[in-house]
Amino acid sequence: MRYHFTSLNFATEPENQQLKKWILEIYSQAKKRFGAAKIQVVLKRDYGVSISLGRVYRLLRQLQLPKMSTVKPSYQKRKVDEAPHDSCPNHLKQAFNPPAPNQVWTTDFSYIPVGKKGFVYLCIVMNLFSRKIIAWQVAHKINTDLALQTLEVAYKQRRPSQTVMIHSDRGSQYTAKAYRRWLDEHDLLASYSKKAYPWDNAVTEAFFKYMKKEELDRRAFSSIQDVQLACFEYIESFYNRHRPHSTINMLTPEEKENFLFQQSVNDSFLCLLY
């Protein structure tokens, strides 16, 4: 069902109250993570309501909703490999929008504080086409095993029929012989950012930035199990399936992949007709 509302100047109070109710629902379900632009998208997508961005801003101001609270994050410095440039080529070269899924996957780690002085480590693999996180693992140690375990999950789930480029930074976990041997054995192409140049893996860096802002930095964690639950809720329930992404036309990563699949089905049907 589609709802049509008048402009704010001529809106009735019942209309505004109904809109505020829906905005509160969206805001609560997203755990305060959405601003006006994403609320506007979800209103249209889930409620069939089309209103201007300015009107969403005005209604949000009237609601006086609290902003996300955060805790001060802790950081550790990662070891970067000193391998020669020729042995770690950059095949991606910041081409962040491949035309089809499973052509480029990006991967990286993030440190998550646990307790007063501890850390656990999140490793992700992103399908760059849709920005979908297709595999993730949390562990007590950051090493090549964690990188490979996460890639194995992605590989088993996707079972690519062609060579996939795997882009990462030059951390020692990704330049290790065991890692590069595994990629060769599975017909995967290693690609590396330039040393100390995070912009070469900017999409993955941006994911961690938003995940920290919208989930990880909002509270303290006391155990690895707490972190795993938070990662599952954020990645599987929120980011992949509910969070609109501006780079992919305000679709969610799941919608982006489903849209391509449906398009392929429609194209196949048309080919049969002709």
**Can you give the pLDDT at residue 13?**
81
Q: What is the mean pLDDT of the chain?
A: 87
Determine the Cα–Cα distance for residues 127 and 167; give it in Å rounded to an integer: 11
Mean pLDDT of 5-27: 77
Q: Hunting for tokens 């860096």 — which residue is that?
A: 205
Which residues are CB-neighbours of 14 under 8 A, at least 6 positions away?
none
pLDDT, mean of residues 94-109:
96
Task: Quick: pLDDT tens for 35-70.
Answer: 889 999 999 998 999 999 999 989 988 988 876 655
C-alpha 133/C-alpha 125 separation (Å) is 6
Q: How far apart are CA 143 and CA 125, in angstroms?
A: 15
pLDDT at residue 208 tops 80? yes
Task: Please answer whether residues 221 and 198 qualify as being in contact, where contact means their C-beta atoms are separated by less than 8 angstroms.
Answer: no
Cα(237)–Cα(64) distance, integer angstroms: 27
What residue spans of the chain are helical by DSSP H? Answer: 13-29, 36-47, 53-63, 144-158, 172-175, 177-185, 202-214, 224-231, 253-273
pLDDT digits (tens, 9 = 90+) for 169-201: 999 999 999 999 999 999 999 999 998 898 999
Neighbours of 29 (CB within 10 A): 13
Helical spans, DSSP H, in 91-176: 144-158, 172-175
Integer Cα distance of 42 and 250 in angstroms = 10
Q: With a cut of 50, say whether residue 269 has pLDDT above it.
A: no
Q: What is the pTM of this model?
A: 0.79
Mean pLDDT computed over 236-249:
95
Residues 123-160 have pLDDT tens digits of: 999 999 999 999 999 999 999 999 999 999 999 999 99
Q: Which of 162, 155, 78 is nearest to 121 (CA)?
A: 78
Residue 16 reports pLDDT greater than 70 = yes
